[in-house]
Amino acid sequence: MDPELNDTGRRQALVVARRLSREAKPAAVYSSDLKRAAETAQTIATACGVSSLVLDPALRERHMGDLHGLAFDDAVRRNPEIFSSYSRTQEIPGGGESLDQLSKRCVSYLNTVAEKHKGERVIVVTHGASTEELCIHADPTSPVRGKLYNTSICVFRIGGGEWILEKAGDVGHLDQGEFLEDAFGGDGVSA
């Protein structure tokens, strides 16, 4: 699905944009081309004074094939075998991606971005499963699966084929009472 941000998502995008604008200026902002990520990325780019905003389908959420658009619990009921065994190569019927395919897509794209921006800071806006896969690629022992909030910040240092996960799931910019209830698992249309 490709919903727009809701009001909570727009507020979260503003808060993360404010935080990122106080850090070193990025050379560019890259984002999934899906509406909620693209709107978040535009908010960040504006706050950071960055004119280079690149939207790319390589940063989209995992393609869920026949399960696309279903709530997680409904997807599990419909195809329990996909979720009952943890296999990184298990494709989802109807053209859905395996975790390995998702990881390869996202890692390959970020390696290309890192090569283009050697020594520069960039901001990448993507989705939950994509971010989890990037974290796991950088640090296979990372306990991020199912623990990343919307607009959480992960910091990677990429160079020469090496990936270092410096920070994962930082939500210091979110007001604990207002956003965290909506940011994790939420309605799927916040940031």
Give me the residue label for tokens 């283009």.
Answer: 116
Asked if 31 contacts 53 with a C-beta cutoff of 8 angstroms, the reply is yes
Dihedral, CA atoms, 127, 130, 135, 140, nearest 10 degrees?
150
Q: Which amino acid is at 111?
A: N
Query: What is the DSSP-derived secondary structure letter of residue 175?
Result: -
Q: How far apart are CA 191 and CA 15, in angstroms?
A: 11
Nearest to residue 12, comparing CAs of 144, 180, 156, 134?
Answer: 180
Is 88 annotated in some ligand binding site? Answer: no
Distance CA 48, CA 125 (A): 14
Q: Which residues are annotated as a binding site?
A: 36
Q: Which residues are annotated as a binding site for substrate?
A: 36
